[in-house]
Amino acid sequence: MNLPKMNVVYVRHTGPYKGNSKLFESLWNKICTWAGPRGLFAQPDLKSLVVYHDDPKIASEDKLRMSICLTAPEDIKTDGEIGKMEIAGGTYAVAHFEIDATQFEQAWDWVYSKWLPSSGYQPDENQCFELYPKAPENGRFTVDICIPVRPL
């Protein structure tokens, strides 16, 4: 699927994050508290994402970086712990899941170990991310796992 570039604001965490729902909740609260007064929730096409900058199978846990993001206008001014970056557009494998908090690792594993090897694609250089089309409901998450790809 061809995805457009996205300008985002983010709060970043460096260190272990796997299975730490309190950490994710804290980071989401931080970015949302910052974004609310700046009118970001009034955007009709607002998107929420989690960007994973490092491969957890390669990087040591204390060096893993991830960013909790909201789409924002390109000219938005950031401050404090909030940064901004561009998510590159291009060809992405997009896998849709409806899962609970314990199933994220399984979903990522399925994309990389089951789908990707038989897809005719290989990972590209851009960032992998999770795109959340809607807020979680009753402990269930609707998530699109987006992996940049190029033909083999």
* pTM across the whole model: 0.92
Q: What is the pLDDT of residues 99-135, one digit of tens each?
A: 998 899 999 999 999 999 999 999 999 999 999 998 8
Q: What is the pLDDT of residues 75-85, one digit of tens each?
A: 999 999 999 99
The residues that bridge with 6 in the sheet, in sequence order, are 87
Question: Per-domain residue ranges for the chain?
Answer: 2-151
Q: What is the pLDDT of residues 31-67, one digit of tens each?
A: 999 999 999 999 989 999 999 999 888 999 999 999 9
Terminal CA-to-CA distance of the chain, rounded, Å? 16
What CATH topology corresponds to 2-151? Multidrug-efflux Transporter 1 Regulator Bmrr; Chain A (3.20.80)
CA distance 67 to 85: 10
